[in-house]
């Protein structure tokens, strides 16, 4: 069995990596998406200070990465959400559920002391590419 690992270093319509990592890595039939914060891909600035606007941008960024790889939210098997304040859980949960349209992958949510670039929410995902 050969090992096939493909790193996607640049994804159209998604923010560029802000460090030495790839926004997505395909390993066999699994696709690992690095955490996305609410960066506008055109300006590389946070989309705003509020949880709703940052969460919507995070989901937009994740959708762009999945789409570039021929996948969608329905292919996601696991998500991890990082929040700087768990008081924002209900808002994030509502937007996340709306964006996934009824699809319910496994998920964990953590409160953290800080996130990159001053973000207040970050989400990473793992997806299954059944074509691989």
- In the prediction, which pLDDT does 1 show? 43
Domain count, the chain: 1
Task: Determine the Cα angle at 119 with ends 25 and 99, to 5°.
Answer: 65
- Cα distance between residue 67 and residue 64, in whole Å: 5
Q: Find the CATH number of the domain harbouring 101.
A: 3.30.1330.40
- Cα distance between residue 97 and residue 119, in whole Å: 20
- In the prediction, which pLDDT does 2 show? 52
- In the prediction, which pLDDT does 4 show? 87
Domain that includes residue 50, residue range: 5-128
- Cα distance between residue 81 and residue 90, in whole Å: 12
* Residue segments in the chain with a per-residue pLDDT below the cut of 70: 1-2
């Amino acid at each position: 069995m050969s090992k096939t690992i493909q790193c996607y270093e640049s994804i159209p319509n998604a923010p560029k990596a802000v460090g030495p990592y790839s926004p997505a890595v395909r390993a066999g039939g699994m696709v690992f998406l690095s955490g996305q914060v609410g960066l506008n891909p055109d300006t590389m600035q946070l989309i705003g200070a509020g949880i709703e606007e940052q969460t919507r941008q995070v989901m937009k960024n994740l959708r762009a990465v999945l789409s570039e790889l021929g996948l969608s939210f329905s292919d996601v098997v696991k998500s991890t959400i990082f929040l700087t304040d768990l008081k924002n859980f209900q808002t994030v949960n509502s937007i996340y559920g709306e964006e996934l349209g009824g699809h319910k992958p496994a998920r964990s949510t953590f409160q953290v002391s800080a996130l990159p670039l001053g973000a207040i929410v970050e989400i990473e995902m793992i997806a299954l590419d059944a074509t691989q």
